[in-house]
Amino acid sequence: MDDYDNVYDDHLRARSYSRLSFPGTYYLAFRDLPLLIDKYVEGREALDFGCGTGRSTRFLQALGFTATGVDISEPMLREARKLDPEGDYRFVGEKGLGGLGGDRFDLILSAFTFDNFPGLQERGKALAGLSSLLDGRGRIISIVSSPEIYVNEWVSFSTRDYPENRDAGSGDRVLIEILGVEDSRPVEDTICTDRDYLELYHGAGLSVLETDRPLAKGDEEIDWVNETEIPPWVIYVLGADSGPGETG
């Protein structure tokens, strides 16, 4: 993960994000994970790639995993360790994922991490590195923002002030504001289409086992904006390439 621009390498953002759980639109990103994990994952050793302040690491712990969180932001990791002093949170700097040594994992979770990569080539390199850390029938579950998230309004996000997002294609930078957090500065992400993700997975020796585009059901106690009709997230379940897979 070294050499990647990280807008979250910031003390104010870290304090702000440490107070986030799974509100609003975020709920949909995590709602289906227990079922997907039960369906595809064997074993209990997990890596949380881009763990931030540890929200997703603690989610994995609650599901019974021994979870290691890694990130390139020291401010985020400091907040994670405050919230979870017994947790395993590691900084991956110059050695990148190589700093994990011979560790192998049954599950690698990447929650929104790839949204912040500065380009498609960097995503491909990281995916190849993650693939090498899988243990046998290990799985990668990657949650990424759908391109639609950057051109619509949501319970937890706003893009109305960034009309230029509508002209963005894969590899272009886009802006999005996270609502209900202390730090109101927009986040700068890099958009990536489903087609390009599929090419990146293939190039990293990974097959798509399942693609989930979660929608709100409408019976939740949340006043949804577009979440019942437009999926804000895409969840890819990935395994080491062993032939044709489901491609969504």
Are 238 and 248 spatial neighbours (Cβ–Cβ below 8 Å)? no
pLDDT number for residue 10 = 66
| Per-residue pLDDT band at 136 (split at 50, 70, 90) | confident
Long-range residue pairs from 20-24, CB within 8 A, at least 24 positions apart, any chain: 20/53, 20/55, 20/181, 21/55, 22/55, 22/59, 23/155, 23/156, 23/180, 24/154, 24/155, 24/156, 24/179, 24/180, 24/222
Domain 11-146+194-240 CATH class label: alpha beta
pLDDT number for residue 185 = 87
Q: What is the pTM of this model?
A: 0.91
